[in-house]
Amino acid sequence: MKKIFGTSLLLAGMTVLAQTKEDSIQFNRISTEILNNGKGYSELKELTKNIGNRLSGSEAYEKSVQWAEQKLRDAGADKVWLQEVMIPVWVRGRESLHIRTSKGSWKNIKMLSLGNSEGTGGKDISGEIIMVKSLDEYEKLPTEKVKDKIVFFNYPFNQEHVQTFIAYREAGAYRRTAASLTAKKGGKFAIIRSLSSAFDDVPHTGNMRYQENSAKVPAITIGNTSADELETLLQQQKIIAKLNSNCGMKGEKLSHSVIGEITGKKDQEVIVVGGHLDSWDVGEGAHDDGAGIVQSIEVLRTFKKLGIQNNHTIRAVCFANEENGTKGGKQYGKTAKENSEKHLFAIESDAGGFSPRGISLEMDDIKRNQIKSWGKLFLPYGVYNFEGKYSGSDIAPLHEMGVPAAELVPDPQRYFDIHHTAEDTFEKVNRRELLLGSAVMTQLIYMIDKNW
Amino acid sequence: MKKIFGTSLLLAGMTVLAQTKEDSIQFNRISTEILNNGKGYSELKELTKNIGNRLSGSEAYEKSVQWAEQKLRDAGADKVWLQEVMIPVWVRGRESLHIRTSKGSWKNIKMLSLGNSEGTGGKDISGEIIMVKSLDEYEKLPTEKVKDKIVFFNYPFNQEHVQTFIAYREAGAYRRTAASLTAKKGGKFAIIRSLSSAFDDVPHTGNMRYQENSAKVPAITIGNTSADELETLLQQQKIIAKLNSNCGMKGEKLSHSVIGEITGKKDQEVIVVGGHLDSWDVGEGAHDDGAGIVQSIEVLRTFKKLGIQNNHTIRAVCFANEENGTKGGKQYGKTAKENSEKHLFAIESDAGGFSPRGISLEMDDIKRNQIKSWGKLFLPYGVYNFEGKYSGSDIAPLHEMGVPAAELVPDPQRYFDIHHTAEDTFEKVNRRELLLGSAVMTQLIYMIDKNW
């Protein structure tokens, strides 16, 4: 009995080794196929150069829907369809910010209204700027000091975080709340220092929201150089600002997320890989999130091209309206629930098309540890970090329904130089870095499809 | 006795924990200082924009020597000096390549002579091009098929290696040997496809060498797009090439490496951190290896700024002539030997100023394992890979003398898009990625200085 038991253990051990070898070969096939023949980079060029930026509700977004539909078909998806989503429509229009000293002449400052902010309705709004360095400092200001003023929230992006997303989250509190905080004390509008790791004058837009019952005063952002200059000026003298903007919400509109899938051979349980098809209305939405879109489509293409027989249905989802509403993600979750679709796993790529370094896992410890146990397979592809416990905003509704969720973790050093700016262009994306991200997502989905 | 032994173990364990905590705090101080106040990025801007490329023997190289001397003083080095080195002088001059079909007109092709190649002496050399895909294929060609021909070594950079340095080494065999192989069979000159991971028409220069007694026929390189076009043409018809170039070796010259050090508090044993000050004569030598230079100077600056009391002498070496002779590295090793200087450790940064991912260790297993045992300290800075067993070419002479050697391992995906080209400019370097490399080298030197 002892001997038989020993032999069984040995056989079990050999099976594990053989499995690992087989997986390692499959990982290599996937990476080789994508690095040699990947379509993601040329597809990203089409999306960014032929269509460009594509805010929800824009004509460009609708073009990108048609484009994504075609690319999913080209990738060999068995089924491609559009999922209806009601999305908010926010429009920027003309806008400008000028400042002057008490006796000086007006100077134009590069700026962007924050997404979802109301504007000045095309009229000039002007007043004296007051500056605060933190939310704490603002809270301590008596209402009379803020009333009729323009509040400059001059909170800098903290360069010392190696993980730039931490700095982004910290500074993000200002972007989200500045307008309502300003309104609450009677201020005219809010200026925030951009959430930017770059030492330049490029303003970074991004979503803001008004608190319930808040007066909808405008919120705008300026680049780091302008913020530095304004800071220096304000330490010396009184500064008047004048804003003229036409942005604002223009109701809702019917639009679409785009979905393609390759059907499971064993069952119809769904594995989701996705990114968001919309972008802000500046730049080309290349890293954010054209990268995630083409990487997700590449996953399907690679399964088909290599003839990997997927047990479960693998679905690439190009979500609508992540930037200023996440309506696409919410609708996807709602529809899955209504149709009682079972989802096995979901992964999102929405942190830029940079070299992959890890996979963040939002799931129970049993599943997390199983994925971690595959870590050695990923190491040759530069992926070593499985410690994150978050996933992405578009698959959050799925996760809330109990679906294990994940996010691709690329190198975070360059992202916040160009995030939500005119500089987020195709030229900032490296072919090999982008393709490696697709390879890693394909490898992970191969493992989950095989083992779950 | 047992109890006392237990207590000792506990105390020892507590000491290790306290040490690790102290080191972790020091690592964070180093990274914080460099990410907030690092000078490397602005110094790299000076080196690349005010001086530009700086091939050994050029006036620009001599300017960079003065510049480095000043920067080492600014960093707070206790002692700064120039080390004399005899360097080879290679000059490019005017050069052009034209091709035509038997009956067509000449078409200009973007090209670069390889470094150290002889030219045509300003005369046209022309002949029919024959193409080979590999060294194997070339070897099988009978001499009469090569005689008086121009050999196009059309070996592509292998995109499927995740570790691009492997592809670079493979393709490097062509760059080094093409000229002498061509000469051996009576060919007129060699054209090689650039060692490039980019899909563009940028030629990548780099070092070649003639075998002993080889006729010194020219060797030139063309970008990937031109190589693709030439390949297609050659499959259809006979193609004539015409080269006119003025490059060649112009003897030797006295020049200098630049060295700065902060003196050890306990002894004079030396820890070296270095890069090479010279670059190729195109682009700005930003990643290769301006990055390594400013990162090495930053190490000294950070020790001084944070007041870390170094036990051993820490020396930043800006090596002369890495690209086409490695005379600086050789001279440094020779001088160290002559002066019986003891070296504790040497690390080089010469793989680009990209996000650090690892440290490659060329040393005995005891030292290697000790450094690996510090791995957890490095993980928050994105450094996880200690598996490499090489170091750098400038510190190879030190390693041959028994000195444990290492190299910073940055992310390798973008390097061979721009390596040795007109595109290796300051704009291709990201501030945070560059500074993180300095932080990791400073952290490692802090550990070695403290523990060895």
DSSP structure string for B295-331: HHHHHHHHHHHHT---SSEEEEEEES-TTTT-HHHHH
In terms of domains, do A314 and A189 share one?
no
* Nearest C-alpha neighbor of B135 from the set B178, B176, B164: B178
Q: Note whether A373 and A422 are within 8 A (CB).
A: no
Domain coverage including residue A144: 95-249
Residue B363 has pLDDT above 60, yes or no: yes
CB contact under 8 A, A384 and B384: yes
In terms of domains, do A241 and A175 share one?
yes
Q: If you measure CA to CA, which chain A residue comes closest to B380?
A: A162
In terms of domains, do B164 and B125 share one?
yes
Which of B198, B381, B430 has the CB atom closest to A162's CB atom?
Answer: B381
CB contact under 8 A, A413 and B36: no
Among residues A225, A249, A273, which one ends one of the domains?
A249
- Which residue out of B202, B377, B411, B433 would a mutagenesis test of the A interface target, given it has the greatest number of A Cβ atoms within 10 Å? B411
Would B184 be classed as within a structural domain? yes
Give the Cα separation of B358 and A413 in Å (integer): 16
> In CATH, what number is assigned to the domain containing residue A200?
3.50.30.30
A4 token code pair: 């038989």
In terms of domains, do B275 and B421 share one?
yes
Among residues B198, B224, B246, which one ends one of the domains?
B246
Would A22 be classed as within a structural domain? no
Q: Note whether A276 and A350 are within 8 A (CB).
A: yes
Q: Note whether A202 and A422 are within 8 A (CB).
A: yes
The chain-wide mean pLDDT, for chain B, equals 96
* Nearest C-alpha neighbor of B89 from the set B63, B119, B115, B53: B115
Residue A1's pLDDT is: 44
Chain A residues lying within 8 Å of B440, measured CB to CB: none
Which band of pLDDT confidence, cut at 50, 70 and 90, is reported for residue B117?
very high
Residue B1's pLDDT is: 45
In terms of domains, do A154 and A268 share one?
no
- Give the C-alpha distances (Å, rounded to integers) separating B288 from B16, B60, B272, B318, B416: 39, 15, 19, 13, 11
Chain B residues lying within 8 Å of A377, measured CB to CB: none
Report the Cα–Cα distance between both ends of chain A, in Å, rounded: 32
Report strand pairing: A239-245 vs A124-132. Answer: antiparallel
Would A115 be classed as within a structural domain? yes
In terms of domains, do B222 and B263 share one?
no
CB contact under 8 A, B382 and A162: yes
The pTM of this model reads 0.96
Chain B residues lying within 8 Å of A431, measured CB to CB: 198-199
Chain A residues lying within 8 Å of B431, measured CB to CB: 198-199
Would A4 be classed as within a structural domain? no
Residues belonging to chain B with any Cβ–Cβ distance to chain A shorter than 8 Å: 31-32, 35-36, 159-160, 162, 164, 197-199, 355, 357, 380-382, 384-385, 411, 413-414, 417, 430-433, 436
Give the Cα separation of B179 and B120 in Å (integer): 13
In terms of domains, do A107 and A174 share one?
yes
pLDDT string in tens for chain A (452-residue length): 445 556 777 777 788 888 899 999 999 999 999 999 999 999 999 999 999 999 999 999 999 999 999 999 999 999 999 999 999 999 999 999 999 997 889 999 999 999 999 999 999 999 999 999 999 999 999 999 999 999 999 999 999 999 999 999 999 999 999 999 999 999 999 999 999 999 999 999 999 999 999 999 999 999 999 999 999 999 999 999 999 999 999 999 999 999 999 999 998 899 999 999 999 999 999 999 999 999 999 999 999 999 999 999 999 999 999 999 999 999 999 999 999 999 999 999 999 999 999 999 999 999 999 999 999 999 999 999 999 999 999 999 999 999 999 999 999 999 999 999 999 999 999 999 999 999 999 999 999 999 99
In terms of domains, do A400 and A263 share one?
yes
Give the Cα separation of A172 and A168 in Å (integer): 6
Among residues A249, A269, A300, which one ends one of the domains?
A249
Which band of pLDDT confidence, cut at 50, 70 and 90, is reported for residue B151?
very high
In terms of domains, do B162 and B147 share one?
yes
- Which residue out of A27, A42, A45, A160 would a mutagenesis test of the B interface target, given it has the greatest number of B Cβ atoms within 10 Å? A160
Three-state SS at B390:
coil
Question: A406 to chain B nearest CA, in Å?
Answer: 20
Would B264 be classed as within a structural domain? yes
In terms of domains, do B356 and B370 share one?
yes
Which of B36, B159, B160 has the CB atom closest to A160's CB atom?
Answer: B36
Would A8 be classed as within a structural domain? no
Residue B6's pLDDT is: 63
In terms of domains, do A380 and A397 share one?
yes
Would B415 be classed as within a structural domain? yes
**pLDDT tens profile B169-182:** 999 999 999 999 99
- The angle formed by the CA atoms of residues B20, B25 and B27, to the nearest 5 degrees, is 90
Chain A residues lying within 8 Å of B380, measured CB to CB: 162
Say what the ipTM of the complex is: 0.96
In terms of domains, do B133 and B35 share one?
no
**For the packed helices A431-451 and A291-306, what is the interaxial angle rounded to 10 degrees?**
60
Report the Cα–Cα distance between both ends of chain B, in Å, rounded: 32
Three-state SS at B211:
coil
Number of domains in chain A: 2
The more confidently predicted of residues A445 and B14 is: A445
Give the Cα separation of B77 and B70 in Å (integer): 10
B228, burial (CB in 10 Å: exposed 0-12, middle 13-18, buried 19+)? middle
Helix residue ranges, H only, B195-265: 224-236
Would A183 be classed as within a structural domain? yes
> In CATH, what number is assigned to the domain containing residue A68?
3.40.630.10
Which band of pLDDT confidence, cut at 50, 70 and 90, is reported for residue B10?
confident
DSSP-assigned beta bridge partners for residue A96: A244
